[in-house]
Amino acid sequence: MQETSFDQLPEEGKSLLQAASDAKEHAYNPYSGFYVGTALLTLDNEIITGCNTENASYGCTICAERAALLKANSEGKRQFKAAAIVARGKDFDTQEVTAPCGACRQMLFEASQLGNGDLILYLATTTFDKVVVTSIQELFPLGFGPKDLGVDVRPYIKTSQ
Ligand code: THU
């Protein structure tokens, strides 16, 4: 896990954090007022974003990370090299970086198994004054995945035509 500054990031990290920050503004969040945006970078350098989408039945809420993953899958994209997450409160900026919740770590881990086995994560505060670069392997060690079920997910790298 590396704390760094926005300026020191590779272009990939800067673009992803900016896309995640923009996406968070689309959050549907009448219950929490919390805005979260995620941007995924596919292996072929396409950015796909998502934001949190809440529901009156609170448990139905979908986090930004999973929204992005589901959107990507719906577009036939299952292989990613990196992701970024940015959040803000209704009337406050985050003072620490926002990291994915447990359920989203599980889903990001599955995605990493379809890619190169890991996923770089760029995390930043609302104003980008704090930036952390980490990875799903680091945030979710010994993750439960396809191998535990004896399943080879490689045939699922591409969606069926
Ligand atoms: N949320 C995310 O979108 N991602 C996370 O990793 C943590 C939480 C959302 C869900 C809910 O809409 C709001 O933040 C408050 O939990």
Instruction: Report CA torsion sign: 58, 102, 115, 6.
Output: positive
The verdict on residue 161 lying in a domain is no
* Number of domains comprising the chain: 1
87 Cα to the center of ligand 1, angstroms:
9
d(CA 142, CA 150): 15
101 close to ligand 1 (CB < 6 Angstrom): yes
- The pLDDT of residue 161: 56
Instruction: Please give the average pLDDT of every successive group of 10 residues along the chain, which has 161 residues.
Output: 98 98 98 98 97 98 98 97 98 98 98 97 98 98 98 90 56
pTM score, whole prediction: 0.98
Going by C-alpha positions, the residue among 115, 116, 129, 108 that lies closest to residue 21 is 129
The verdict on residue 103 lying in a domain is yes
52 close to ligand 1 (CB < 6 Angstrom): yes
The verdict on residue 51 lying in a domain is yes
Cα separation values, 32 from 35, 60, 61, 100, 152, Å: 8, 13, 11, 16, 38
The token duo for 110 is 């599955």
- The pLDDT of residue 122: 99
Residue nearest to atom 10 of ligand 1 (CA): 63
